[in-house]
A and B are shown apart, each in its own frame.
Chain A
Amino acid sequence: MKIRNIIITFVSALALLLSTSVTSFAKVVGDKIILGSAISLTGKYSSNGVHTQNGYNMAVDRINSMGGIKVGGKTYKFEIIYYDDESNPKRAAQLAERLISQDGVEYMLGPYSSGLTKAIAPVTEKYGVPMVEANGASRSLFTKGYKYLFAVLAPANLYLDVAIDLAVEKNGGKPVTVAMAFEQDAFSQDVRLGVLEAIERTGSKKVIDDKLPKELNDMAATLAKVKAVKPDVLVVSGHTKGALTAVRQIAEMKVDVPMLAMTHCDAAKLSKQHGKNSQYALCASQWHKTLTYKDNFFKDGMTYDADFSKEFGYAPPYQAAESSAALLVFKDAFERANSFDKVKVRDALAATDMQTFYGNIKFAKGGQNTDKPMVLFQVMCDGDKCENKVVAPTKWASAELIHPIPSWSKR
């Protein structure tokens, strides 16, 4: 009996030792570079979590099948360990801890949403693990002095300031009046700050500044105010719920504004859910398939759109495109660092200056990508078929901005 106990203890101790020694080499196993990611596969962010995961997977397959990553004269392949963070920041932080200290992951890919990225960033920072993220745009992520956080997307404060500039331009360079309705969460409030800066810069005036509660799905009061004040621009940001509610109630209440600018139109499937009522809405987007950026792996936006649609059965939202771009950035950095040393990889990431199908990528000191402007598209309908067409910046415009929006009585 005693001997059996001793043997069991010995074997389990050995197993424990083996498992820890294996995981401590887990960052690169054989010819595989292991990346880790906590991602929302269930819970309220699960739709966008899945878009993110599909974007990552698509890029991993593409890079692996096109020759992999060359480091020190040897070829490696990417592999990702995923955990489901249940759309819960606390869980995301725990999983990041687990990926790093138990699974031995030394390079991370970001989760979905600013909130979850905020929860994970202190963990990756503590362990000095480089993280390339594609779905956390909140400005506060880039002002904390994080050294190991890199975001391929433009920060939230740049989402809608373009719209104000556009309105001023259409107004013959004269200042405009702006009505704002933003949800009370980190992301939307960052978008608001960007709009406020643009208002100040152009000498414009804010006439309504409503902060929408998170649980609100009725904007009637705000829109009645808009009707009374008649601003030149109405700016709304409140995730998909905000976009859907705004368009429904603007149509129902026949609110006439010359310009309506929003976020999350494509995540809300605005033109599909609202059809013609969504016409003329201006939407901020990180990416659009018609942009002319190029790279060797996905060629360009149109090809990415076609390949993604073929593989996953739906057109890629920008959340998927930017996630794919994150992998291209990692590959580039590994090859330039020519090493698996975390610090060297981090330094290589910081020095990134490249073009992908998703846009140019160059990181500022805070880790945000400042080399890729946001685009604005406008929902345009031909009969019952509605499409998103890029209208700004003019370099990529595939259609002329329709301004001012025709009044409801004339539609």
Chain B
Amino acid sequence: MDLLIFKVPILMVQASLDGILLGILFALIAYGMALQWGVMNIINIAQGDLVILGGYITYFMYLSGIHPALGVIVAPAIMYFVGVGLYKLVINKVVDRDLFISILATFGISILFMQLMNFAFGADVVLANSEFGTTMLFNNSVTLPNSKLFSALISIIFAIGLVIYMKKSKLGRAIRATAQNARAAKILGVDTEKVYAATFGINAALCGVAGSLVAITFTIHPYMGLPYTIRSFMIVIIAGLGNLPGVAVSGMGLGVFEEFADYILGTEFRIGSVFLLLVLILVYRRFKLSKKREYLK
């Protein structure tokens, strides 16, 4: 137990801002997962590996002298086709099967991606330097790296853009219709096969954006994908499917919770406390659900 944060209250501001900025990035990844989960009923274990692949695209742009910030445009464009390709190769065979089969399939994809990235890019930890500088607040006692601000801003832009796209465009409406009832959508002339491919592609593109931002703000490594999968899974579980504001709030909430746990309980309990929170939320949900059932009886 460390009470430094109470002795130096300005740290609370720092922790909250850090948590929110981190949470927004995770929320973007979780949004992609929620979308595809809701539409196709597939839990994508390879989500984090798609993020890392997006990061490598940005890293190689950076190596060839292009500013890594442009990665947020290039990486999703490439990743969209990676996603559609994956759908045509593997996912379309498991899309209307049992959830368990799709978890196994995407788990396989995850392992394959890790090994391929390791084979192609090597096992070194790498990053892309954006040289964005730092924003200082409160007489230098709170520092916000501009790379983190940039990543939050880009995440918000993409999330809002996608919401508008889903509402206004023809494909967006088709995706939403398929999510509500695939059979009915099919009868009414929606090409669900195409919708599924596009959904998986959009998810991969979002992962591409997030990956670029990870390369700019943190580090990437072929085997670093799983934490991103787990984190986005947790955010979706807490927010529930098809609940976009929920995803954003639970992403930021988890980020802030994690930062405060770090300060108060110690860094070693950071991840553990997030898992504990998840268990508590699941137990609470179950408790609420069982009450409802009793009432129905």
Write the residues of chain A forming the contact surface with B, with a CB cutoff of 8 angstroms.
42-47, 181, 184, 210-213, 215-218, 220-222, 224-225, 227-229, 239-241, 244-245, 248-249, 252-254, 268-269, 273-275
B136, A212: Cβ atoms closer than 8 Å: no
Q: Are B18 and A224 touching (Cβ within 8 A)? A: yes
Q: Which residues of A contact B125 (CB under 8 A)?
A: 239-241, 244, 268
B232 interface contact, C-beta 8 A: no
B11, B14, B270: the one contacting A213 at CB < 8 Å is B270
- B14 interface neighbour in A43, A47, A224, A239, Cβ under 8 Å: A224
Establish whether residues B262 and A221, one from each chain, have CB atoms under 8 Å apart when the complex forms: yes
B257-297 toward A: CB 8 Å interface, digit per residue (1/0)?
A: 00100110011101100000000000000000000000000
Cβ–Cβ contact A254 & B134, under 8 A: yes
B68-76, B174-182, B188-196, B220-228 - interface stretch: B220-228
Q: How far is the CB of A378 from chain B (nearest CB, A)?
A: 21
Report the Cα distance A239→B124, complex, angstroms. Answer: 11
Q: Which 10 pairs from chain A and chain B are nearest by CB?
A: A252-B145, A211-B268, A210-B267, A221-B262, A215-B227, A217-B218, A253-B143, A46-B123, A240-B125, A228-B8
What B residues does A222 contact at CB under 8 A?
262, 267
Taken residue by residue from 96 to 139, chain B's Cβ proximity to chain A (1 for < 8 Å, 0 otherwise) reads as 00000000000000000001001100111111010000101000
Instruction: Determine the chain A residues whose CB is within 8 A of the CB of B262 once the complex forms.
Output: 221-222
Q: What chain B residues lie within 8 Å of A221 (beta carbons)? A: 15, 18, 259, 262-263, 267, 270
CB-defined contacts of B22 to chain A, threshold 8 Å: 218
Q: Does B4 sit at the interface, judged by CB under 8 A? A: yes
Tell me, in angstroms, the Cα distance from A325 to B134 when the chains sit together.
Answer: 45
* A43 contacts across to B, CB distance below 8 A: 118, 123
| CB of A203 to closest CB in B, whole Å | 23
A292 to B4, CA, bound (A): 47
Distance between Cα atoms of A195 and B22 in the complex (Å): 31
A128 to B136, CA, bound (A): 61
Contacts of B92 in A (CB 8 A): none
Q: What residues on A are CB-neighbors of B148 within 8 Å?
A: 252
Q: Footprint of A on B, CB under 8 Å?
A: 4, 8, 10-11, 14-15, 18, 22, 115, 118-119, 122-127, 129, 134, 136, 140-141, 143, 145, 147-148, 218-219, 221-224, 226-227, 259, 262-263, 266-268, 270-271
- Residue among A43, A220, A244 with max Cβ neighbours from chain B (10 Å): A220
19 A-B residue pairs with Cβ-Cβ distance under 8 Å, sorted by A, are A42-B119, A44-B118, A44-B221, A210-B266, A211-B267, A211-B268, A215-B227, A215-B271, A216-B271, A220-B259, A221-B262, A221-B263, A240-B124, A244-B125, A244-B127, A245-B218, A248-B129, A248-B219, A275-B129
Cα–Cα, bound, A43→B268 (Å) = 26
Partner of A248, one of B10, B14, B127: B127
Complex CA–CA separation, A254 to B139 (angstroms): 13
Contacts of A225 in B (CB 8 A): 4, 11, 263
Complex contacts, B271 vs chain A, CB 8 Å: 213, 215-216
Q: Are A216 and B15 in contact (CB under 8 A)?
A: no
- With A253-B134, A273-B127 as contacts: A228 and B143 at CB distance below 8 Å: no
In the complex the two chains form, is A46's CB within 8 Å of B122's CB? Answer: yes
Known: A210-B266, A221-B259, A224-B14. A47 touches B127 (CB 8 A): no
